[in-house]
Amino acid sequence: MKTVIIGGVAGGASAAARLRRLDESAEIILIERGSYVSFANCGLPYYIGGAIADQNNLTLQTPERFLARFKIDVRVNNEAVKINVDEKTVEVKNLKTGESHWESYDHLILSPGAEPIKPKIAGVDSDHVFTLRSIPDALQIKQYIADAKPNSAVVIGGGYIGVEMAENLRQAGLEVSIVELSDHLIAPLDFDMAADVHRYVKAKGITLYLNNGVQAIHGRTVVLQNGEIDTDMVILSVGVRPETALAKACGIKTNPRGSILVDRNMKTNIPGIYAVGDAVEATDFITGNPAFLPLAGPANKQGRIAADNIAGLDSQYSGTQGSAVLKLFDMTVATTGLNEKGAKAAGIHYEKTYLYSGSHASYYPGANNMSIKALWDRETLKILGAQIVGFDGVDKRMDVLATAIRFGAKITDLAALELCYAPPFGSAKDPVNMLGFVAENVIAGKVKQFFWHEMESLPRDGSVTLLDVRTAMEVGQGKIDGFMHIPLDLLRERIDEVPKGKPVYVHCHSGLRSYIACRILSGNGYDCFHLAGGWRLYQSVINEKIEM
């Protein structure tokens, strides 16, 4: 049996290694157009910024190591230019010699990946404008910084790669700006969670141009829809598209985006041909709808699944939920599953829960609060998605939540999880547990929520009572118009100051004290609502909107 794999990196290299482990006798040929068969493309920004000092550390496997360990024939600098599905052959061109030959196959795995999108604007092909996909791209950027010694850079696109590039260029000593067409960075975040990211990024000296697009690049000037920026270099990071021209040409079905259509076994519509990685249409694990989620983890799993099926195992891919984590200087941003935009688009009736909890026990030095948001289905109570912005401990909480989603957990199941605890690492009631506790209270009707985006619509005509239960010191640092002030610890003795017979809307700093206040008020016959996420979230979002 002979398997030809087109494309290396995550999907193709994983498929090749897995297939060899399953079948020692198989003939395996991996064709890679570039000079590197398996490299850490997620590490490229950190090489540019200097966190990864040695270029060789980016290379995960070489053709020589593939041959020695796995008996896999890796042919770099070779490009597959045509597939003959009737003859089951691939035309391969040697990019160094220019010679071509036809390679036969019994099974074919396509792993061509996705290519950076270059907007059709003037100046996009200038020698100081770069994209980042491969090691040669990273070397070119690194060399430009060394030779041209730029003082400034503009990153076009505020997704994961764009933000990572902005961080690393800033670490390299450049003045950096990010231009983003949307109203916030990092699309999987909702705006309210991105507000903290914006404030932190700006504090690190990076300038943000949100709700703004690039119209042209004229010399060293980037012309925006609103304004312009003078800069020494530009990084394009506006997204990627599946690189599937080869697949389309031989009759493999694709969707309107160009992604290859595959079944759960990673099979295309043509017998004997599989496809994996960023080039394929994925299935959203939460909604079951088609999705485009180019991530390394899913690509690795899909490569393994294709190899399993070639070797006779019925292995299936169950969908992608978009779990991702981002390092941003000292901050960590993590997401999994649906955000509010995705839940609305899927027509799901959802509820949301906010927390502002410590990374570990507050009495142990070094604790930092993290902002957590979870979405869950009102009818089934299943967790739909989560977002966390913070510092220490963000990644492990998100991994727990991603796992819970994968196994179909309800939001209330989080209350029962028994997680590791010691003061340096967490709290006896972990933030993940707290999400479950808060949801239990909402579901049981022990607390009713209102949200930051409803604040301005609350009547100020006396028909409702607006109550701030923070301390006098906190109120002195900022307050919301129309709210009377009674500190939580004085609420019982001053409860007669709260008019009866009308709803009470309460807020504190983070949501904990307002919940306690609502329990006190409810126990005394009041109809009470508390501000989910508290003043801290509200002022973060509102201040960001004002600055925009």
Predicted pLDDT of residue 66: 85
Per DSSP bridges, beta strands 233-236 and 369-377 are unpaired
Per-residue pLDDT for 39 more than 90? no
Distance of CA 471 to the CA centre of its chain: 37
Does 464 score more than 80 pLDDT?
A: yes
Residue 15: both structure tokens together: 């498929």
Is it the case that residue 3 has pLDDT exceeding 70? yes
Tens digit of pLDDT for each residue in 139-154?
899 999 999 999 999 9
pTM of the model: 0.94
The H or E element spanning position 17 is helix 9-22
List the Cα angle 88/93/94 in 5-degree steps: 135
| pLDDT value for 315 | 95
> Each residue of 268-285: pLDDT tens digit?
999 999 999 999 999 999
Residues 6 or more apart whose Cβ sits within 8 Å of residue 178? 154, 155, 157, 158, 162, 163, 166, 185, 201, 206, 207, 208, 209
Find the helix or strand (DSSP H, E) in which 27 lies: strand 27-32
pLDDT higher than 90, residue 544? no
**Is the model's pLDDT at 546 over the cut of 80?**
no
19 close to 303: Cβ distance less than 8 angstroms = no
User: What average pLDDT does the structure give for the chain?
Assistant: 94
The helix (H) or strand (E) run that includes residue 201 is helix 191-203
| Number of CB atoms found within 10 A of residue 387's CB | 26
Residues annotated as part of the active site: 42
Of 136 and 197, the one with more pLDDT = 197
Chain centroid to CA 492: how far? 45
CA distance 458 to 427: 36
Per-residue model confidence (pLDDT) at position 49: 86
- Percent of all residues in the chain with a pLDDT value above 70, rounded to a whole number: 100
Is there a contact between 372 and 355 (Cβ–Cβ < 8 Å)? yes
pLDDT at 42: 81
Q: Each residue of 60-102: pLDDT tens digit?
A: 778 888 889 999 999 999 999 999 999 999 999 999 999 999 9
Give the pLDDT score at 468: 98
Cα–Cα distance between 57 and 53 in angstroms, integer? Answer: 8
Using 50, 70 and 90 to split pLDDT, how confident is the model at 55?
confident
Query: Is residue 424 pLDDT above 90, yes or no?
Result: yes
227-250 confidence digits (pLDDT tens): 999 999 999 999 899 999 999 999
Determine which of 127-136, 336-345, 493-502 has the lowest per-residue pLDDT on average.
127-136
Range from 50-59, 101-110, 311-320, 323-332 carrying the lowest mean pLDDT: 50-59
Residue 40: pLDDT over 80: no
* C-beta atoms surrounding 116 within 10 Å: 18
pLDDT of residue 548: 67
Nearest to 44 by CA among 57, 31, 32, 63: 57
Q: Say what percent of the chain tops pLDDT 90.
A: 87
Mean pLDDT of 280-292: 95
Task: Give 515's pLDDT tier (boundaries 50, 70, 90).
Answer: very high
